Structure 1
C-alpha cells in the first residue's frame, strides 16, 4: 500500500534509460504564450508588476549595500520554484520540487556561496553573528555551538520544508482520490468538492512555499553583508 502510494513521486519514466520526469522542470517555458514576448502586452505587464514588487521587497531585505542585480537572482529562483510547484498540480506531470534532488540542489549552492563570501570578506562580521548581543559570558560557548548548528542545517531545512510541503498535499489528494471507487454517488459528490478545495489550498501552498524559500534565502544572504 505504502509503496504504491509513494510511487507517484518515483522518477521511473524513462526512454533508453534517460529519465523523462525531470523534463517537467523545463515545461514552464512552454506555458508562456507567444504574446508574452511582444512588449508591451497585458501578460508581460502583469509579470513585470510582480517582478517589480518582488524586487522592492528583496532589495529592502538585503539592504542598500548589496550588489547590483542580486535581487534578479532571487526573482529567478522564485519563478522557477513557483512554476514547478504549479506544474505538479497537473495530472501526469512529475512534481520535481517534491524531491530533495531539486530542493537541495537549489538550497546548498546558495548557502555555500553565502558562507564562502561572508567568511572570506567579512570574517569579523560572521564571528559576531555567532554570539547574539547581550549574551552573558557564561553562555557564550553554548550560544556559539547553537548558532553554528542552526547555521549548518539551514540548507537542509530549506530543502526539507519545500519538498515536505509538496509531498504532503499530493499524498492527501491521492489518498482521497483512491477512495472514490468504493463510495456512493452522494459521497463522491462530496469527495469532488473536497478535492477542489484541496486543489485550491495546494495552489496557495505552491505560491507560499516558493515565496518562503526565496525570502529565507534572501534573509540568509543579508546576514553576510
Structure 2
C-alpha cells in the first residue's frame, strides 16, 4: 500500500522475497555484448558516432593534452551509465535507480572529491587563484573566497539533486495523472492517454538531457583543477 506519494520511488517491490530493484542498475550491461556480435552493425555505428562526438567535445573542454584524451573516457562512461538507467526507468516495473540520491551522490561525490584532491595537491596555487576572480577589490576578497568555497562544496549535492529531481518530477506527474483515470469518462480517458504519451516523449528527452548535463558539468568541474 502506498503510504505517501513519494513512496512510489522506494525500492520496495521484490521477486520471491528477494529485493531485486537495484539490480536494474546493471541491466544496461546486457546491451554491451550486442555490439560485438556483428561488426559493424547499426547499433555499434550509432554508439560510436555518439561517443566520438562526446569525446571531441569533452576533450575541447578539458584542453588539448595527453591527460584529457584519457579522462574523456570517464565522462563518456558516466554519460552512458546514467542514460541507460534513465531510459530503463521509463519501462513498466523497472526501478528508476537515478531517481534516488543514493545512486546520484555515489556518482558525483567521489568524482568531485578526486578532483579536489588532485587540484589542491598538484595545482595548489591555481586553486587559490581560482577563488578570487581577477579584478576583485581587496575589501571584497574575503567574501569572494567564502562564496567560492561554499559554491565549490555544494557542487556534488547540486549535481545529484539536479539529476534526481528531474527524474522524479516527470514520473510523479505521470503517476498523478494516471491515478485520476478511473474517475474519467471514455472521451477524457483518450485525452489522458494522449497527454501521457506526450509526457513519456518529454521524459525520454529529459533522460538524454540529464545524462548529458551531469557529464558536461563534471567535465567543466574537472577542467577547473588543471
Name the residue aligned to 1:100. 101
Q: Which runs of 4+ in 1 moved over 2 A?
A: 1-5, 13-19, 29-38
Tell me, what secondary structure is at the counterpart of 1:3? coil
Name the residue aligned to 2:9. 9
Name the residue aligned to 1:26. 26
Query: Do the aligned residues in 1 keep the contact of 2:9 with 2:96 (CA within 8 Å)?
Result: yes
| Structure 1: gaps spanning 5 or more residues | none
Change over 3 Å in CA distance of 1:113–1:32 after alignment to 2: closer
Report whether the alignment pairs 1:91 with 2:88: no
Quote how far apart the aligned CAs of 1:43 are: 1.1
What TM-score do the two structures reach when normalised by structure 1? 0.95
The number of aligned residues is 225
Offset from partner CA, 1:60-111 (integer Å, 9 cap, x none)? 0111135141101110000000000001100010000000000000000000
Tell me, what secondary structure is at the counterpart of 1:133? coil
What TM-score do the two structures reach when normalised by structure 2? 0.95
Name the residue aligned to 2:56. 56
Q: In structure 2, what is the Cα distance between the partners aligned to 1:166 and 1:210?
A: 11
Quote how far apart the aligned CAs of 1:12 are: 1.6
| Structure 2: gaps spanning 5 or more residues | none
Report whether the alignment pairs 1:192 with 2:190: no
For the aligned residues, what is the CA RMSD? 1.7
* Greater mean deviation of Cα atoms: 21-30 or 197-206: 21-30
Quote how far apart the aligned CAs of 1:16 are: 7.9
Quote how far apart the aligned CAs of 1:14 are: 4.0
Name the residue aligned to 1:112. 113
Q: In structure 1, what is the Cα distance between the partners aligned to 2:40 and 2:59?
A: 25
